[in-house]
């Protein structure tokens, strides 16, 4: 079955960077976009961006432009999200999710289990 498994929780200091991984399995990796969505404590969902695993093309929400980089490794079917210049406002659970039902539909299913990123001095 389709699975997305994310890396573990991170604690970072303000100004640092964090890199979260999302290991995919159970489908053709290059055939579906992967998205990143975050959720601050007790808050709603916020789209961060997407990556096309086939081409490596990316699109980021303007809010994160210049601070976020999404990459992929086709040999390990893993997608990465790197977020720099962290502030306390970046404290959130970060989710990866695959496109559903086709390659770039901009609906998200299934999702990874989430990675807690905490930014604290």
Rule CB under 8 A: which residues touch other proteins? 44-47, 59, 61-63, 95, 97, 100-101, 105-114
Question: For the chain, what is the largest distance between any 2 Cα atoms, rounded to a whole number of angstroms?
Answer: 42
Residue closer to other proteins (CB basis): 16 or 110: 110
Q: CB 15 → other proteins: shortest distance, Å?
A: 25
Q: CB 14 → other proteins: shortest distance, Å?
A: 25
Could you tell me if 97 and 76 are in contact, meaning their C-beta atoms sit under 8 angstroms apart? no
Residue closer to other proteins (CB basis): 66 or 101: 101
Could you tell me if 29 and 46 are in contact, meaning their C-beta atoms sit under 8 angstroms apart? no
Q: CB 65 → other proteins: shortest distance, Å?
A: 11
Retrieve residue 81's tokens: 């999200």
Residue closer to other proteins (CB basis): 74 or 113: 113
- Going by C-alpha positions, the residue among 21, 2, 24, 17 that lies closest to residue 110 is 2
């Amino acid at each position: 079955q389709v699975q997305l498994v994310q890396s573990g929780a991170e604690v970072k200091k303000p100004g640092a960077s964090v890199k979260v991984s999302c290991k995919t399995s159970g489908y053709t990796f290059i055939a579906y976009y992967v998205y990143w969505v975050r959720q601050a404590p007790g808050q709603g969902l916020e789209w961060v961006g997407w990556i096309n695993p086939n081409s490596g093309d990316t699109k980021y929400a303007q809010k994160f432009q210049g601070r976020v980089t999404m990459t992929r490794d086709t040999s390990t079917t893993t997608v990465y999200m790197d977020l720099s210049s962290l502030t306390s406002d970046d404290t959130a659970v970060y989710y990866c999710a695959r496109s559903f039902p086709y390659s770039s539909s901009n609906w998200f299913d299934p999702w990874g289990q989430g990675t807690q990123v905490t930014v604290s001095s």
